[in-house]
Amino acid sequence: MRVGWLYCLGLLFMLNACDFIRIKGNQTGDENRKAVARVGDTFLYADELRGIASSEKSKEDSTARVSAYVDSWIRKQLLLIEAAKNIEINEAEVERKVLDYRYSLIGYEFQNYYINKNLNDSVSQQELETYYKEHVDNFILKQNIIQGAYIKVAKTAPRTQRIKDLLFSNKPKDLNELKSYCLGFTEAYQLPDSTWIEFDKLAANSPLADIPNKIQFLRSYNYYETSDANYLYFLKINAYKISDNISPLDFVKEDIRNIILNKRKVELAKKLEDEVYENAAKEKEFEIFNR
């Protein structure tokens, strides 16, 4: 959303602006408050550290958080003092910017509340398919992907000679046996289903990663076995897609869902702005004067 970057920038500015304001407000020590640090004539008080040390943290963690905050506060105060020595600071302009960012932050929080309250986060299969078809050129694969099964198992594991038979079986009892075997003995596995997975991710940390021409490999094999000093590797490829081709819908559906939801959020934010403006205009809550 367009307010997201403003929120982050505003928060950063507010943190520094609050330190700037403290320079003006605490130029003499307050005898009724416990000071924990001083830079020049500016004091940091214990009551200003509330909330930094969480009750859920250990004593050591809380002490470290407070220490880090105090050190950061000192550094910022020193930097601001040094800035004041070297450049002319327009305090009215700084305070105006602080107010502008404060309004932006409050507005962002209200927008967030409104969006969370009104957002329909249900995305139908039809919506996914429609968006996919209308923007298919945006979903070009950047990597090779496969559907299939992958098993990495120690050479010392039992019944490794049965793995290939289980991989090629369509019997429910054999699929259950394969799942049970993978849970009990394998180092890594991907069971056969309709999930698309990046081939490079699947091949990582195995001899498959060293295949020089992976596209030719995918075109040549639907089953492959290999090994190294300690492990056996079994790969069964049911389907594959080569990079630079169009992604299958199932591979990008979560991306499309997020795109649709983000679009709805932007529309809700605009709707909120329009509603607030129109209601205020109807109630004559603002005026624009001739300049």
pLDDT in tens, 212-224: 999 999 999 999 9
Residue 251 domain-assigned?
Answer: no
The mean pLDDT of the chain is: 88
DSSP 9-59: HHHHHHHHHHHHHHHHHTSS--TTS-EEEEETTEEEEGGGGTTTS-TTS-H
Residue 199 domain-assigned?
Answer: yes
Residue 268 domain-assigned?
Answer: no
The answer on pLDDT for 43 being more than 70 is yes
Specify the DSSP class assigned to residue 149.
E
Q: Indicate whether 149 and 217 sit together in one domain.
A: yes
- Calculate the alpha carbon distances from 45 to 31, 71, 167, 234 in Å: 11, 13, 67, 64
Q: Indicate whether 147 and 230 sit together in one domain.
A: yes
Residue 80: domain span: 2-93
Q: Indicate whether 81 and 10 sit together in one domain.
A: yes
Q: Which residue did the predictor score with more confidence, 5 or 92?
A: 92
Residue 76 domain-assigned?
Answer: yes
Residue 19 domain-assigned?
Answer: yes
Number of domains in the chain: 2
* Domain endpoint, select from 67, 93, 119: 93
* Domain endpoint, select from 32, 59, 93: 93
The model carries a pTM of: 0.68
| Inter-axis angle of helices 59-86 and 2-25, nearest 10 | 80
Residue 257 domain-assigned?
Answer: no
In DSSP terms, 44 is beta-bridged to 37
Q: How far is CA 39 from the centre of its chain?
A: 38
Confidence of residue 38 (pLDDT cuts 50, 70, 90): very high
Residue 134 domain-assigned?
Answer: no
Nearest-10 Cα torsion for 112, 117, 118, 122: 100
Helical ranges in 171-248 per DSSP H: 172-185, 199-203, 214-220
* Domain endpoint, select from 207, 225, 241: 241
Confidence of residue 5 (pLDDT cuts 50, 70, 90): very low
What is the H or E stretch that residue 236 is in? Answer: strand 231-241
Residue 269 domain-assigned?
Answer: no
